[in-house]
C-alpha cells in the first residue's frame, strides 16, 4: 500500500530559511549563500520522506515566498511596474513583487483560503504577455533525482491560479480572468514536456479552488483546461489534489470527469462528506489519495479510526488504487516534535508535528497492506485514551460560565453614535486623529532581554526596568511625532513574530501549552509559533494592566490598552479538536472580558481588541458563513459589553477580503475599527462607494507596513482624500495598515512623520474650506 505527502514545511526545524532570507535581504549574505541553505533544506526533506518509506514524495513545494508567486514567475506574469525585461526571473524581480522596493509597492497579499498562511495575489489582464520565465519546477525535480529521490513535481493548477488572481489596476473589475486560460495553458504544456523529458512519471496539480462555491462556468473551465492538456500529459500519471473542505456533488462530478487524470487527492479530515461521494461513485481504475492525516493541526492521528475509514474506502476503490495521504500540505503544522524539550510528556504524547505525521501516513499504509505495527498502534491508542480522560482538559466552572452565555447577544446598551459623542468629550481628539496599530520595532536588544529573562539569566526587576525603558522610548517618539492616540509598543511580547501577542496572552491563560520550536510559516520569512489549546480556557490573573497603566503614566495623551480578541486567539492557535470551536471561543471571550474590565478600572480609556483573524476563519462554503459569523461576532461583543460609554473600544483587522462580511463587521459594534487597505489598492473603500453606511470610527490603513518602502506625505494625503470621498470626516482615523514590529526604526520614523504631516495638512485644508 502506497503513501503520499501533499507538501512539507519549508523553513526548516530551526527556521534556517527565515534567517537566510533576512540575511540576504539585508545584504549580509550572497545569493549563493541563500541557494545553498535552500538546497540543504530540500535535500533533508526529500531524504527524510524517502527514509520514512513514503512512495509519492513532492517536489516544487519549496518556496522562497509562496507557491502562487512561484507560479506567477513561472508564467512570466510580472506587473509592468517592476520593469522586468524578460528572461529567467531573478531574485530582484521576485522579491520586489513580494516585498516592494524603494520605488514601487509590493503586490497585494492575502490569506490562503481559511489558513494563517498568505500568498501574493497575481495581477492579470488582457494585455499580459505570458512566457515561461521560471524553470524552478523542473530544476527541483532534477535536483531530487540527482540525490536518488524520485519525486512528484507539484504545480498550482491553471484554473485555481486564475481564480486566485485579480484584475490588474486599470483593468475592468468585470474582466473574466478565466478568459486567460488559452494564454497560460501553453506555458503549462512547456513545463509538463520538460518534466516528462527529465523523467517524471507522476505530476500533481493543486486545484484547491474546487472546494469553493463554483458556478457552472467556473467548473467548465476545469474540464476545458485538462482536455487541452490531455495530449501533453499522455504518458504521465496525473494527480489532482484538493483540500480544506468538502467538494460539492457538482465539483466532485467535474473532478472525476477530467480528461487525462489518473488520481484524485481528497481532504477527508475537513471534507468528511466527500467520503460519501466516493462511496457512491468512484471511477474504475483510478487512484484515490485519501487525506486522512490532518495537515492543519498538531494532534496525533487516531490511527484505529483512520484505518477503519481506509478499509471502507479500499472496498470501494480497490486495494491497489488506494494511497494514504495527508489532508493537505504539512506547511501548516510545526516541523518536528523531537525539537520540543519543554513540553511535558503527557501533552507531548497527544501531538504529532510534520515529521510525526509522515510516520503516521506510512504506518497506516503498512497496516492497510497487512504489516500493522502493533506496538505503534497500541501506543497511539493509549495516548488517545489519556487525552480523553485527563483532568487537566476539563474545568467545570469554565464550562458553566460559557453555557450561561446562551440567550443574550451581549450588546452595549447605548448606540455607537452616542458613545462616540461621550468619548470625544472625554478624549478631545482632533479631526482625522492619528494612531498606530500596536507594536513598534522589536530591536535585537529587546529580544535579547526577553530571551534572557525567559532563561532566568536576568532578574525580574532587571527585565521590568528594561521594558519600562523601551516603553518610555516609544512614548517619547510618538509624542515627538505628535501622534494623537498612543500605544506602548508591545515590548513585553518582543519575539518579532506576527502573532506574538497571541502567544503572550496564551502564556497567561489556563488551557494553553507552548512549544520552543513549533514555528509555522505565515508568509515570506515570517513565522509564527501558535499556542496549543488543549483544555478549557480561563484567566487566572490580570495580563496587561500593569504595562498599560505604566505606559499611561508616562503621557497625558490617551494610551491604548492592547488585547488580542478571542476569535483571533482561536484562529491563530492549534485548537483542541474534541469540542466545537465556538465553545472554545466563548471561553476565551470570557477571559478577555475580565481583562477589558480590569483595564477600564485602571483608567485606560481606549482599549483595542484586535480581531485580525476574524475573516480568516470564515468557512469556505457560503452556506456555513452565517453560523460562523454569528458566534465569532458574538464572541467579540462579549469581551466589551460591560464597559462605560466613555471607554472607546477599538478593533483591528488585516490582510483579508472584508467586503463580503462588512455587515458583520458593523455588527461587532466596535467604536473604532482600523483595517488593512493600502496594499489591496483601497479595495475596502469600494464597499462604501456602493452605499454601505458606517457610523463608527474607521481607519483604513494609509500605508503598507510589510514593505520597507517609505511613503511620501503627498502619497498618504492622496489616500486620505480617497477615503474622505466615501467616509464622513468625523469618523475617519489615520493609521498604518498593521503593527510596526517587522520594520526598522529608520523606516518607521519617516513613515509616521509623513503620516502625521499628511493628516495635519488635510486638517488645515478642511478647516479653511468651512
**Residues with catalytic function:** 706
**Cell 456602493 appears where?**
690
The three three-digit cell numbers of residue 390, written as one number? 485527563
* Whole-Å CA distances, 445 to 24, 503, 600: 21, 20, 32
Q: For 266, list phi and psi in degrees, rounded to 5.
A: -125, 140
What residue ranges in 682-733 does DSSP mark as E strands?
A: 697-700
- Stated length of the chain: 770
Half-sphere exposure of 713 (CA within 13 A, CB side): 10
Cα–Cα distance between 76 and 632 in angstroms, integer? 40
Instruction: Answer left, alpha or beta for residue 432, where phi above 0 means left and psi between -120 and 50 means alpha.
Output: left
The answer to whether the CB of 616 falls within 8 A of the CB of 115 is yes
Cα–Cα distance between 106 and 170 in angstroms, integer? 17
Q: For 176, list phi and psi in degrees, rounded to 5.
A: -80, 110
Q: Give the CA angle between residues 192, 197, 203 to the nearest 5°.
A: 40
Cα–Cα distance between 536 and 514 in angstroms, integer? 15
Cα–Cα distance between 763 and 430 in angstroms, integer? 8
- Alpha-carbon Rg of the chain, whole angstroms? 26
Instruction: Return binding residues.
Output: 18, 116, 437-439, 490, 526-527, 572, 610, 652, 654, 663, 667, 676, 738
DSSP 8-state class, residue 411: -
Residue 459 CB neighbour total at 10 angstroms: 10
Cα–Cα distance between 765 and 755 in angstroms, integer? 16
The three three-digit cell numbers of residue 100, written as one number? 516592494
Cα–Cα distance between 77 and 131 in angstroms, integer? 8
Residue 572 CB neighbour total at 10 angstroms: 26
The answer to whether the CB of 181 falls within 8 A of the CB of 225 is yes
Instruction: Return binding residues for L-methionine.
Output: 437-439, 490, 610
Residues 6+ apart with CB under 8 A from 270: 243, 244, 245, 246, 296, 327
Residue 272's H or E segment, with its range, is none
Q: Is 166 exposed, middle or buried (0-12, 13-18, 19+ CB in 10 A)?
A: buried
Half-sphere exposure of 449 (CA within 13 A, CB side): 20
What residue ranges in 235-275 does DSSP mark as E strands?
A: 237-241, 263-267
Cα–Cα distance between 581 and 203 in angstroms, integer? 36
Q: Any bridge partners for residue 57, and if so which?
A: 151
Cα–Cα distance between 446 and 250 in angstroms, integer? 54
Cα–Cα distance between 163 and 697 in angstroms, integer? 34
Amino acid at each position: 500500500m502506497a503513501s503520499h505527502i501533499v507538501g512539507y514545511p519549508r523553513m526548516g526545524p530551526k527556521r534556517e530559511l527565515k534567517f537566510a532570507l533576512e540575511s540576504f535581504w539585508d545584504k549580509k549574505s550572497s545569493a549563493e549563500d541563500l541557494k545553498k541553505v535552500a538546497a540543504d533544506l530540500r535535500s533533508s526533506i526529500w531524504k527524510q520522506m524517502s527514509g520514512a518509506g513514503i512512495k509519492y514524495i513532492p517536489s516544487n513545494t519549496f518556496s522562497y515566498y509562496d507557491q502562487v508567486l512561484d507560479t506567477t514567475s513561472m508564467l512570466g506574469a510580472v506587473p509592468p511596474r517592476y520593469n522586468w525585461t524578460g528572461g529567467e526571473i531573478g531574485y530582484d524581480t521576485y522579491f520586489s513583487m513580494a516585498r516592494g522596493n524603494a520605488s514601487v509597492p509590493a503586490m497585494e497579499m492575502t490569506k490562503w483560503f481559511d489558513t494563517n498562511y498568505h500568498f501574493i495575489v497575481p495581477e492579470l489582464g488582457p494585455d499580459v504577455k505570458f512566457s515561461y520565465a521560471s524553470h524552478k519546477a523542473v530544476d527541483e525535480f532534477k535536483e531530487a533525482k540527482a540525490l536518488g529521490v524520485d519525486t512528484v513535481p507539484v504545480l498550482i493548477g491553471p484554473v485555481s491560479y486564475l481564480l486566485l488572481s485579480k484584475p490588474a489596476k486599470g483593468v475592468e473589475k468585470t474582466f473574466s480572468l478565466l478568459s486567460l486560460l488559452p494564454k497560460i495553458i501553453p506555458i503549462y504544456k512547456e513545463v509538463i514536456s520538460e518534466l516528462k523529458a527529465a523523467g517524471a512519471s507522476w505530476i500533481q496539480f493543486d486545484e484547491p479552488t474546487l472546494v469553493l462555491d463554483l458556478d457552472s462556468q467556473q467548473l467548465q473551465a476545469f474540464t476545458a483546461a485538462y482536455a487541452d492538456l490531455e495530449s501533453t500529459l499522455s504518458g504521465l500519471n496525473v494527480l489532482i489534489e484538493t483540500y480544506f473542505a468538502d467538494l460539492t456533488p457538482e465539483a466532485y462530478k467535474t473532478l472525476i470527469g477530467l480528461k487525462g487524470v489518473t488520481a484524485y487527492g481528497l481532504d477527508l479530515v475537513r471534507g468528511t462528506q466527500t467520503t460519501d461521494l466516493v462511496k457512491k461513485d468512484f471511477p474504475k481504475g483510478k487512484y484515490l489519495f485519501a487525506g486522512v492525516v490532518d495537515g492543519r493541526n498538531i494532534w496525533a492521528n487516531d490511527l484505529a479510526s483512520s484505518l477503519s475509514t481506509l478499509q471502507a474506502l479500499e472496498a470501494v476503490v480497490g486495494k491497489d488504487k488506494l494511497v494514504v495521504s495527508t489532508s493537505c500540505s504539512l506547511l501548516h503544522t510545526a516541523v518536528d516534535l523531537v525539537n520540543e524539550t519543554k513540553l511535558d510528556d503527557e501533552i507531548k504524547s497527544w501531538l504529532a508535528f510534520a515529521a510525526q505525521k509522515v510516520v503516521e501516513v506510512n504506518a497506516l499504509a503498512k497496516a492497510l497492506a497487512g504489516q500493522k505495527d502493533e506496538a505503534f498502534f497500541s501506543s497511539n491508542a493509549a495516548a488517545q485514551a489519556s487525552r480523553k480522560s485527563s483532568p487537566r482538559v476539563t474545568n467545570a466552572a469554565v464550562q458553566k460560565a460559557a453555557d450561561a452565555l446562551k440567550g443574550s447577544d451581549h450588546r452595549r446598551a447605548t448606540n455607537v453614535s452616542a458613545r462616540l459623542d461621550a468619548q470625544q468629550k472625554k478624549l478631545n481628539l482632533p479631526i482625522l486623529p492619528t494612531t498606530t496599530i500596536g507594536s513598534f520595532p522589536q530591536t535585537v536588544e529587546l529580544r535579547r532581554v526577553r530571551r534572557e529573562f525567559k532563561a532566568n539569566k536576568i532578574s525580574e526587576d532587571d527585565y521590568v526596568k528594561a521594558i519600562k525603558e523601551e516603553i518610555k522610548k516609544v512614548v517619547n517618539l510618538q509624542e515627538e511625532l505628535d501622534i494623537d492616540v498612543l500605544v506602548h509598543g508591545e515590548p513585553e511580547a518582543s519575539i518579532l513574530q506576527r502573532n506574538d501577542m497571541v502567544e503572550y496572552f496564551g502564556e497567561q491563560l489556563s488551557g494553553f501549552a507552548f512549544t520552543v520550536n513549533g514555528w509555522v510559516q505565515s508568509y515570506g520569512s515570517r513565522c509564527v509559533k501558535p499556542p496549543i489549546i488543549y483544555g478549557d480556557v480561563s484567566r487566572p490573573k490580570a495580563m496587561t494592566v500593569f504595562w498599560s497603566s505604566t505606559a499611561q503614566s508616562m503621557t497625558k495623551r490617551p494610551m491604548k490598552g492592547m488585547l488580542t480578541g478571542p476569535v483571533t486567539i482561536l484562529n491563530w492557535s492549534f485548537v483542541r479538536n474534541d469540542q466545537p470551536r465556538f465553545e472554545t471561543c466563548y471561553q476565551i471571550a470570557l477571559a478577555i472580558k475580565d481583562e477589558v474590565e480590569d483595564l477600564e478600572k485602571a483608567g485606560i480609556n481606549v482599549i483595542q481588541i484586535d480581531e485580525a483573524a476574524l475573516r480568516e476563519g470564515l468557512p469556505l462554503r457560503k452556506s456555513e458563513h452565517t453560523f460562523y459569523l454569528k458566534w465569532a461576532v458574538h464572541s467579540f461583543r462579549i469581551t466589551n459589553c460591560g464597559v462605560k460609554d466613555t471607554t472607546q473600544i477599538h478593533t483591528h483587522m488585516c490582510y483579508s477580503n472584508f467586503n463580503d462580511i462588512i455587515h458583520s463587521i458593523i455588527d461587532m459594534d466596535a467604536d473604532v475599527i482600523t483595517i488593512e487597505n493600502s496594499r489591496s489598492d483601497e479595495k475596502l473603500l469600494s464597499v462604501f462607494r456602493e452605499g454601505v453606511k458606517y457610523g463608527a470610527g474607521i481607519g483604513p490603513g494609509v500605508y503598507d507596513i510589510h514593505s520597507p518602502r517609505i511613503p511620501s506625505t503627498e502619497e498618504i494625503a492622496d489616500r486620505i482624500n480617497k477615503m474622505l470621498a466615501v467616509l464622513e470626516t468625523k469618523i475617519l482615523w489615520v493609521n498604518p495598515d498593521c503593527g510596526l514590529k517587522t520594520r526598522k526604526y529608520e523606516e518607521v520614523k519617516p513613515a509616521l512623520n509623513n503620516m502625521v504631516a499628511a493628516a495635519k495638512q488635510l486638517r488645515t485644508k478642511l478647516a479653511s474650506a468651512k
